[in-house]
Amino acid sequence: MATSGLIQFDEWADLYARRVEVMRTSAVRDLFAAASRSDIISLSGGMPDIRRLPLEQVSEVAAHAVRQEGVAGLQYGDTTGRTQTKELICRLMEDLDIHILPEDLTVTTGAQQALDLLAKTFINPGDVIITEGPTYLGALQAFSAYQPDIRTIAFDEEGMRTDLLEATLSELGPRTVKFIYTVPTFQNPGGVTMSLARRRRLLELARAYEILVIEDDPYGRLRFEGEPVPCLRSLDREVVYLGTVSKMFAPGLRTGWVIAPRPILQKLNMVKQGTDLCGSALCQVIVEHYFGETPWRETLADMMEKYRQRRDAMLEALEEFFPPEATWTHPAGGFFVWVTLPPYVDTPQMLSVALDAGVTFVPGDGCYPAGSNQGRNAMRIAFCYEEPEALREAVRRLSLVIEERLALYRAFIAAGVL
């Protein structure tokens, strides 16, 4: 009998592993269905605007790739990725002052797989790891499956607060933390970029306390103003670096990479064998041809101009519509703005009202470890996908929902209830 649409009793509930009990589904993934409704303006997903890719060129590249290398592309491949793909990634990394050989990296199924492989390789239940707070919710999902004790460090407009990091580390002591995970450039969800001074301090602390640093850098090339700040990996060869084509080309090709010291890479490769044997060679062939044969830098520059206009539209709308009690970050690149509202606004509760008002966002609590009860008065809003007019309208709709909450709060205060 078809059960679609019915809620089915879970008769397997006592069989699931403990790691599944502590896992949460991603608020963003859950919102995908709602976001596809035509009356909704979505500020929730971090989707690159692939509508602006030259699809004719991409299809030519894909057809050419299959014709030329279909036999290899459709076969099982090397677990670590195709040599040609690794050579291409080495060339791309030169732009960021990272000088490596193909043997220093493994191609992964998106940077997301690298997060899972790292967690599987390093985390025993109860191990302490450190992330920014808030942090990328997909990283929290990948890590929490292995049941770590996640400590979060707040950021400001200069990125992770290294003074707070130092306080946490001095409490924990050397070699007690498995790794520090950071998205230093155009952070997800914060949009902030770690200053060079903080980067140097982070690396100093990591060395002093003998802690591995994982730098996740999907947005590094998506800068629309200001000067680039060197990657952590370019400052320290022991940093594990994660890259991806998802935001600079297309996430559908699921092609990312991890650069790591060779002993770590060996372990990751072993773990990867058990996960997927190898990534999609066909996707890698398409990636090689796209970056090898199309004017991808111009395509990206054209997209960056659009992202900048959208960022401007969002910041202007926030200024115009949001209440004076709200604060938000001012990203110089990437996809996201992080908004902090007064403590009595509960963004997880607000989401269903916002959906009725025709707008979605990511409630802030999803960007903190489960059960930490942080971020409930914050939200991540993305400016990457919608046009400026739609962004303005979305922010206006959101402001009305927030205003209702503020009015209620003020009424309670006036009535002496609070």
Ligand X SMILES: Cc1ncc(COP(=O)(O)O)c(C=O)c1O
Residue placing its CB nearer to ligand X in the complex, 134 or 218: 218
CA distance 347 to 159: 23
Interacting stretch for ligand X, rule CB under 6 A, among 56-64, 244-252, 289-297, 358-366?
Answer: 244-252
Please tell me whether residue 80 binds ligand X under the rule CB under 6 A.
Answer: no
For residue 130, the SS3 value is: strand
Cα(322)–Cα(340) distance, integer angstroms:
11
Q: Which is nearer to ligand X, 113 or 399 (CB)?
A: 113
Nearest-approach distance from CB 67 to ligand X, in angstroms: 27
Q: For the purposes of burial, counting CB atoms within 10 Å of the CB of 373, is it exposed (0-12), middle (13-18) or buried (19 or more)?
A: exposed
Does the protein bind ligand X through residue 256 (CB under 6 A)? yes
Q: Which two tokens stand for residue 28?
A: 């963003």
CA distances to 17, 114, 145, 188, 213 from 118, in Å: 20, 6, 12, 19, 11
The distance of closest approach from Cβ of residue 249 to ligand X in the complex, given in angstroms and rounded to an integer, is 10
Residues constituting the chain: 418
β-pairing, 149-153 vs 128-132, is parallel
Answer for which of 77, 110, 133, 375 binds ligand X (CB under 6 A) is 110
Closest approach of ligand X to the CB of residue 383, in Å: 14
User: 112 or 399, CB closer to ligand X?
Assistant: 112
| Range in contact with ligand X (rule: CB under 6 A) among 62-70, 104-112, 191-199, 278-286 | 104-112
What is the closest distance, in whole angstroms, from the C-beta atom of residue 108 to ligand X in the complex? 8
CB 37 within 8 A of CB 31: no
For residue 136, state whether it binds ligand X (rule: CB under 6 A).
Answer: yes
For β-strands 240-244 and 255-259, DSSP reports them as antiparallel
Q: Which residue is nearest to ligand X (CB)?
A: 110
Considering only 112, 280, 284, 347, the residue that binds ligand X (CB under 6 A) is 112
Among 138, 331, 333, 369, binds ligand X (CB under 6 A): 138
Beta-carbon contacts of residue 276 (< 8 Å; ≥ 6 apart): 109, 113
Stretch that binds ligand X, among 110-118, 154-162, 351-359, 366-374 (CB under 6 A): 110-118
Position 329 contacts ligand X (CB under 6 A): no
Hey, what amino acid is at 313? A
Tell which one of 53, 111, 259, 265 touches ligand X (CB under 6 A).
111
Min dist. Cβ of residue 409 to ligand X (A) = 33
HSE-CB for 414 with a 13 A CA cutoff: 6
Half-sphere exposure of 170 (CA within 13 A, CB side): 6
3-state helix, strand, coil in the chain (%, to 5): 50, 15, 40
CA dist 185 and 217 (Å) reads: 7
Closer residue to ligand X (CB): 244 or 347? 244
* Binding residue (CB under 6 A) for ligand X from 48, 77, 184, 251: 251
Among the residue ranges 51-59, 167-175, 243-251, 258-266, the one whose residues contact ligand X (CB under 6 A): 243-251
- Type of residue at 352: S
Neighbours of 402 (CB within 10 A): 24
Question: Could you say whether residue 132 binds ligand X (CB under 6 A)?
Answer: no
**From residue 180 to residue 219, what is the string marking binding to ligand X with x (rule CB under 6 A)?**
---x----x---------------------------x-x-
Span of 30-38, 106-114, 309-317, 364-372 interacting with ligand X by CB under 6 A? 106-114
Between strands 327-328 and 255-259, the pairing is unpaired
Q: For binding to ligand X (CB under 6 A), which residues are involved?
A: 46, 110-112, 136, 138, 183, 188, 216, 218, 244, 246, 251, 256
